[in-house]
Structure formats: structure tokens, C-alpha cells
Structure 1
Amino acid sequence: MSQSTITLYDIQSTIPQPWAPNIWRVRFILNYKRLPYRTVWIEFSDIETTLRRIGAQPTSYKSDGRQVYTLPVIIDPLRSINAPAVLSNPTVIAEYLEATYPARPVFPEGSRALQSLFVHYIQDGFVKPLLPILVPLTHQRLPERSQAHFSRGGAPSPTSPTALAGPQSEQAWNAVKEQFNFLAAILDKNTSDGNGVVAMGRDVSYADFALCSVL
């Protein structure tokens, strides 16, 4: 690969295609902006060690002050091979890519505030009802070593997240359906007045990538 190629760190699984929503959000931007990049696959149990080694910033802190390292992370050697940009957090990465590679923008002028609200809804309202359904499925698609790490915050465990069944499953799916219906009604407003089908009407934007990454 060229020395100017961006490196994207992604979570390894037992399926051939990428699956993690937050990482897909960044992958969509890289693809949309037509930026050359390569993927480095990491197991859950190796994320913190790998990110500390490359100098990535933690994405949050636990109540006891311990640092939390999560993906996505990118390394961009554009400015200096000796001191490449190492960025974590999908929003930080998106803003960096937009500022550094302005062609094919994902934040149309004057849209950042509204897009931020849309993305907040996707994360806080749209995704939460999906978690009880998606987490057990995610666990099944991880390599064995990552399954143990994923089950209980990094500690090996014989247990795994349990798929919902019966009334619990029905209740969870009803909550998901309610959010899908709400979002469909919002997006249909653009269709009904002929202004397009995406969040910004006719212009593909970061808000669309936040939604499509979950789907």
C-alpha cells in the first residue's frame, strides 16, 4: 500500500464482512470520499494493548478513573510519515476527515447542528431497543477468545449473552418496530415533498452514514 494510505482498525469476527456500527460509520466516509485505506483486524482482548502501542487516545474513562479504549481508530500518515495523525472516536474521526479531505463533503454547509441532533437520536433512541437483540447475535460471531472477553468486560467467563425468547423477544421487537416506524415517518417527509430520500433531502451526509451503519 502507498505510504499515504489510511489505516482503519476494526474488530475481528468469524464472518468475512465488517459488522461493528461505529466502525462502519467511518468506513462509509472513507469510501464516500474515495480515500485509500487498509483495514487492520483486532480481537476484543487486544484492543487496549494495540491502541496504547500506536498512541491512540482513550475514548472514555470508568468511574474509578481507568481509561477505556474502543474502536474505530485511524492512522493517517498524510501530514508526516514520522508523526502521523492517530484518531479515535467516530465523531472526532469524521470531523478530521471532513477538514482534511473536504472533497465530497459529508457535512453540507450549515447542517452540523441538525446532523448532530439526528446522530444523537440514532445512538440514544434508535439503537437502544436493538441492543437486547443484537448483543447475543454479535457474541455468536466473535472468535472464541473474543467471546470470553466480550462476555464480562474482559474477564474470561463460561457464560454468554442469552438470546431473548417468548414475551421478552416480542416486547423487544415491538420496541424496535416503534422506532423504525417513527424514523420512517420522519424520512418520508423528504419523499412526500419531492426533496429526496436521505436525511438532508438530496445530499448524502454524515447522518445517513450513522443510520446505515446500524442497519
Structure 2
Amino acid sequence: MPPPNIILYDVPSATPEAWAPNIWRIRFVLNYKRLPYRTVWVECNDVERTLRSVGAPPASIGRDGRPVYALPAILVPQRPSEPPIVLSTANVIVEYLEMAFPARPIFPDGSKALQMVFIHYLNDVVLKPLLAIMIPLSHMRLPEHVQAHFRGSTTSGMPGYLAPGPQRERAWLAVKEKFDFLATLLDKNNGADGDGLVAMGRELSYADFAICSVLLWIERVSPHDGWTRMRQWSNGRWIRLWDRCKDHMDVL
């Protein structure tokens, strides 16, 4: 049987444009595996109602004990007599897609644990200084009527907008230091075992899509500041990785 037409739920900016990095991870995997899907746009203030209506599990439990609903989420149709499979959170979705549709794997044999550690490091260390810049910029690109909801949905409070000046320059320098260190780690793949560009040495994998999702976030939300800077970092490594992944950047 052909694979089902999957629904990917995504949050638009002021125009229906894919920008959210956690959702781009899923879109990359769907595109790479050549799975048929369609995007359903859900504004931030409508995420909980929409996900509850399709039976999606909460992404987490808040400090008050209430379920927290968040994107990404997917709906995978089953046979007419069976309910659809509905999943949320990026890593859960990706692991399901790899198990259910093993062709064109994103976790080469024996690499899942190491890639998940890599993703954890990327989220908790490399991206930490980037959030102070990108979260306020992302908020500004949302439709006006959902901006208040976005502010309330950030678990640690939304940082203030960094205007051009010394403070923003220091923030970007901190980001550059993290990405430069990441580049030195990936460079260890240079030589007989790989080309030094992608995390697994030669073939694209989930780790590369996680990085490129962040590159897309910066390019979409901060094209004239952040992306202009980042294209020059690490001897152009990040634009080369972008080019390696661009065949999988379709939005269906």
C-alpha cells in the first residue's frame, strides 16, 4: 500500500510561511523520506483547541499540572476502520517516522543514541544564546492578534527585543562562539571517514536536519542581520550545509 497522506500542523507568521525550527525538523524528514503530506496552518492561540480536537497527546505537563499542547504534531491516517495516529513533540514524531517508513533512513545503523545526545547538546548548549535574539524577532513576525498568546506560551518568559547596538553585537558573538565550536566538532569527520560537512560523515541524517532547521529559522526571521552574519561563519560551513539540505526544503 502507498504511504498515507500525513498532516503536518505548523504555525504561520504574518503570512503562511514555514519558520519554526522544531516543525522544520519534521518537514525535512518527511521530504527526505519522500512521504506525501500536507501542511495545516494553525495560529498559536488555536493550537490547543486544534490538537485536542484530533486527539493529540500533550507535549508536556505544566507546573500547575495541566497538559501543555504545542507543535509540532502530525496526523497519520490509517485504514477506514482505524483511528489515525496522532503524535506530538519532534523526537517522538521523528522516531515514529523512522520506524514506520524505514526507507531512506535518517538514523544509520547504531547511530540513534548518539544523534539524540547530539540533539540534546544542540538544544541545551549551542542554541541557548540564540534564543535571546530570535524569540523576540519571531514574536514580532506573528499576526498581531496572536502575539500576546505567544508571549504567554514561552515557559521561561520572553526576553526583550535587542535593538541594534553593543548588546546585540555581544549576543551574536556568543552565538558565533557556540557555532564555531560545533564546527570544530563536525570537522573531525574530515578525511577518509567523511567530508566534514555532515554529522554522520557522508550521508544526511536527523542531526543535520536539526541544525539546518535552525539555519532556516534565522534566514526566515532575521535575513538581513542574523543570516548575513551566519553565512560568513566557520569558512562558509553553514551555507554549504544549507545547500546540501535545500533539496528537502519544500513546503507542501
Residue of structure 1 equivalent to 2:144: 144
Distance 1:182 1:19 in 2: 25
Change (3 A) 1:63 1:53: same
Superposition deviation, residue 167 in structure 1:
3.2
Give the match's secondary structure for 2:182: helix
Distance 1:118 1:152 in 2: 29
Q: Is the CA contact (8 Å cut-off) linking 1:147 and 1:160 kept in structure 2? A: no
Tell me how many residue pairs correspond in the alignment: 210
Distance 2:68 2:161 in 1: 25
Give the match's secondary structure for 1:109: coil
1:162 aligns with 2:154: no
Change (3 A) 1:45 1:161: farther
1:42 aligns with 2:39: no
Q: Unmatched 5+ residue regions in structure 2?
A: 216-252
Superposition deviation, residue 186 in structure 1:
1.2
Distance 1:52 1:206 in 2: 28
Superposition deviation, residue 78 in structure 1:
3.7
Q: Is the CA contact (8 Å cut-off) linking 1:7 and 1:39 kept in structure 2? A: yes
Distance 1:16 1:58 in 2: 24
Q: Is the CA contact (8 Å cut-off) linking 1:132 and 1:164 kept in structure 2? A: no
Change (3 A) 1:160 1:180: closer
Superposition deviation, residue 199 in structure 1:
0.1
Distance 1:190 1:176 in 2: 23
Q: Unmatched 5+ residue regions in structure 1?
A: none
Give the match's secondary structure for 1:40: strand
Change (3 A) 1:160 1:194: closer
Give the match's secondary structure for 1:9: strand
Distance 2:30 2:138 in 1: 24
Change (3 A) 1:132 1:36: same
Superposition deviation, residue 143 in structure 1:
0.8
TM-score (norm 1): 0.91
Deviations 1:114-135 (A, max 9, x none): 1011101111111111001101
Regions of 4+ moved over 6 Å: none
Amino acid paired to 1:132? A
What is the alpha-carbon root mean square deviation over aligned residues? Answer: 2.1
Residue of structure 1 equivalent to 2:54: 54
Change (3 A) 1:121 1:194: same
Distance 1:169 1:193 in 2: 40
- What is the percentage of aligned positions where both structures have the same residue? 58
Residue of structure 1 equivalent to 2:184: 185
Deviations 1:32-80 (A, max 9, x none): 0000000000110000111111100001111110111110000001455
Amino acid paired to 1:41? W
Distance 1:120 1:160 in 2: 22
Deviations 1:90-147 (A, max 9, x none): 1000010000000000000000111011101111111111001101210121011111
Change (3 A) 1:169 1:58: same
Give the match's secondary structure for 1:71: coil
Distance 2:77 2:152 in 1: 35
Residue of structure 2 equivalent to 1:90: 90
Does 100-109 or 71-80 show the bigger shift? 71-80
